[in-house]
Amino acid sequence: MEAELPEWMFPPRPSGWEADDLDHLPQAPRHTELIEGALIFRVSPQRSWHSRLAQNLAFGLRQAAPDGIEIEREMTVRLDKRSRPEPDILAASVAYDPDRTRYLPEEVVLVIEVASEESADRDRSIKPFKYAQAGIPHFWRVEDEESGPAVHVYELDTVTRTYVPTGIHREWLKVSVPFPAAIDLGSLVP
């Protein structure tokens, strides 16, 4: 027996969904992303480790961020006409706007993905590629290692539009760009 899909799940055009369509899909589940015209839904429950780490890392970054840098959780970035992913955390160089529903790549200075089992491939390959192609200067990926969280830090090579690794941080995250921050990674999760 074939399950019928709700009408709203069918794209409005043969070429698929477009980034701005997400603002007009109130029926879509929370945290719906768009990658290359395809809707991506979070189907498995989020682990407490993921949620706690993202929340506490965002708080630490908020404390370190200078004036003019906003730290957001779970907000989409309109990378191009057909892609609007939702990083776990982002830092943007724009004023706070309570009605904002998305950011543009030129407003974003850092995107952070906290890798999870269901999103690992997207977080490790597809999303970093798309973020780099859109020109976002910094990308961090957080991995759950046996010894605790590890933050893989990347910086954009503007000539090749690819990320180059600048370090893997365990125990302490100490960076000078996109703004100075020192965060005890062991304090982010119990």
* Per-domain residue ranges of the chain: 8-40, 48-187
Residue 82: which of 163, 3, 16, 151 has the closest Cα? 16
pLDDT value, residue 76:
97
The tens digit of pLDDT for each residue in 99-151 reads: 999 999 999 999 999 999 888 999 999 999 999 999 999 999 999 999 999 99
pLDDT reported for residue 1: 55
pTM of the model: 0.93
Span 1-23, pLDDT tens digits: 567 888 888 899 988 999 999 99
**Which architecture characterizes domain 48-187 according to CATH?**
Alpha-Beta Complex (3.90)
Task: Give the burial string for 132-170 (b: 16+ CB within 10 Å, else e).
Answer: bebebbbbbbbbbeeeebbbbbbbbeeeeeebeeeeebe
Q: What DSSP element (H or E) covers 33?
A: strand 33-35
What is the distance between the alpha carbons of residues 176 and 97, in angstroms, rounded to a whole number? 26
Which residues are paired to 142 by β-bridges?
114, 151
- pLDDT given at position 38: 92
Q: For 6-10, 73-77, 170-174, 182-186, which range has the lowest pLDDT when averaged over its residues?
A: 6-10
Q: In degrees rounded to 5, what are phi and psi of residue 96?
A: -60, 135
pLDDT digits over 47-98, tens only? 999 999 999 999 999 999 999 999 999 999 999 999 999 999 999 999 999 9
